[in-house]
């Protein structure tokens, strides 16, 4: 019964049990998280430190940005950055293996490093592109980035313990990690007959990174592919983040922790003319991180599945597969 319930909906956990709980609460969080990531690859987390007020400010700012004319938004687009900073217009990104682009536009924010930091200006750390309007965009985005990064580091500490590693295993690997806040606008479709028959807001895919932390989207539509092949809708309470395993962590753990395929489906035809906004934080390590499968995750029943690769090389490979890198 417990297994069926786990598969029907993603587990809800409280990150404060790990960060400020008793030893028993901390151990319980680690085991519950590991079971969920073994099974469905998704959890809903509260106690993450991201306030309703900050979420409201950021969502308000991105809605104002995307409401601007295309020519204004294109002032924040740099083709050379392959969507890794600033604005990426409609029709540029598709899921790996998909024939048509997703029905979305997005804006990406990376590490905001101070003057004099040795990583600043390096190829993985181009300067962020900030819009003139709305003026609240920059401050809210940077604050959300730092809050989500801190929560993600705690999640990785729990994952490390579950894997039998030192709790700080990921710390140096995600220091100035190549992480991204992505603000997504799934734009209204005024004429559904004018789009390709198989075009959806986000086609079935796995995330590239270690873990993804998603703050509540503005409308329903996120679905996860269960192990039995059934798609189930994912919802979270207003105070929760949805946190899922990405392909890099799947590779590192030899598929012990599952990067589960998910998608964002189109709304019913009568609601196609309504927008949807979503803000995931894609937590990446530094590009030099070795994603070679951990020896502890390889055995006779689960032989090594993946070739050795670094995080940077894997990211470049995937950016080409989804159409952002030429």
Q: Are 2 and 36 in contact (CB under 8 A)?
A: no
Task: Output phi, psi for 122, to 5 deg.
Answer: -70, 160
Distance from chain centroid for Cα 172: 20
The mean pLDDT of 294-317, rounded to a whole number, is 96
* Spatial separation of the C-alpha atoms in residues 110 and 104, rounded to whole Å: 20
pLDDT per residue as tens digits for the range 76-134: 999 999 999 999 999 999 988 888 999 999 999 999 999 999 999 899 999 999 999 99
pLDDT per residue as tens digits for the range 236-270: 788 899 999 999 999 999 999 999 999 999 998 88
Which residues pair with residue 194 across a beta bridge? none
Cβ neighbourhood burial of 20 (10 Å; 0-12, 13-18, 19+): exposed
Task: Output phi, psi for 186, to 5 deg.
Answer: -85, 100
- Using a pLDDT cut of 90, give the percent of the chain over it: 80
| pLDDT value of residue 2 | 36
139: tokens are: 């401050």
Q: Is the dihedral of CA 57, 58, 63, 66 positive or negative?
A: positive
Coil, strand or helix at 321: helix
Domains assigned to the chain:
2-321 (2.60.120.330)
The mean pLDDT of 131-156, rounded to a whole number, is 97
Q: Are 225 and 205 in contact (CB under 8 A)?
A: no
Cβ neighbourhood burial of 113 (10 Å; 0-12, 13-18, 19+): middle
Which residues pair with residue 185 across a beta bridge? 105, 277
Residue 242: partners with Cβ closer than 8 Å, 6 or more residues away: 10, 42, 43, 44, 45, 213, 214, 222, 234, 236
pTM for this entry:
0.94
Coil, strand or helix at 129: coil
| pLDDT value of residue 219 | 59
């Amino acid at each position: 019964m417990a297994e069926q319930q786990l598969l029907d909906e993603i587990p809800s956990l409280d990150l404060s049990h790990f960060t400020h709980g008793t030893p028993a609460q901390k151990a319980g969080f680690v085991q519950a998280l590991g079971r969920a990531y073994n099974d469905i690859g998704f959890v809903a987390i509260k106690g993450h430190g991201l306030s309703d007020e900050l979420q409201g400010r950021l969502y308000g700012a991105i809605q104002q940005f995307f409401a601007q004319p295309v020519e204004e938004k294109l002032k924040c687009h740099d083709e050379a950055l392959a969507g890794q900073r600033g604005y990426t217009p409609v029709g540029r990104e598709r899921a790996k293996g998909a024939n048509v682009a997703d029905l979305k536009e997005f804006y990406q924010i990376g590490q905001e490093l101070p003057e004099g930091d040795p990583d600043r200006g390096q190829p993985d750390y181009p300067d962020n592109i900030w819009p003139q309007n709305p003026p609240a965009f920059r401050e809210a985005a940077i604050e959300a980035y730092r809050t989500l990064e801190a929560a993600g580091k705690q999640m990785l500490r729990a994952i490390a313990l579950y894997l039998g590693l030192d709790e700080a295993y990921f710390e140096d690997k995600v220091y100035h990690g190549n992480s991204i806040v992505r603000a997504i606008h799934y734009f209204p479709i005024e004429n559904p007959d004018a789009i390709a028959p198989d075009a959806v807001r986000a086609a079935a895919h796995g995330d590239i990174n270690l873990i993804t932390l998603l703050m509540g989207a503005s409308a329903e539509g996120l679905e996860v592919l269960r192990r039995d092949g059934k798609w189930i809708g994912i919802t979270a309470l207003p105070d929760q983040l949805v946190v899922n395993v990405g392909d890099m962590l799947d590779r590192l753990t030899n598929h012990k922790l599952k990067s589960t395929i998910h998608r964002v489906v189109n709304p019913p035809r009568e609601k196609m003319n309504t927008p949807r906004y979503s803000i995931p934080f894609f937590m990446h390590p530094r590009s030099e991180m070795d994603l070679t499968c951990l020896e502890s995750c390889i055995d006779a029943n689960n032989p090594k599945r993946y070739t050795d690769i670094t995080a940077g090389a894997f990211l470049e490979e995937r950016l080409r597969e989804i159409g952002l890198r030429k």
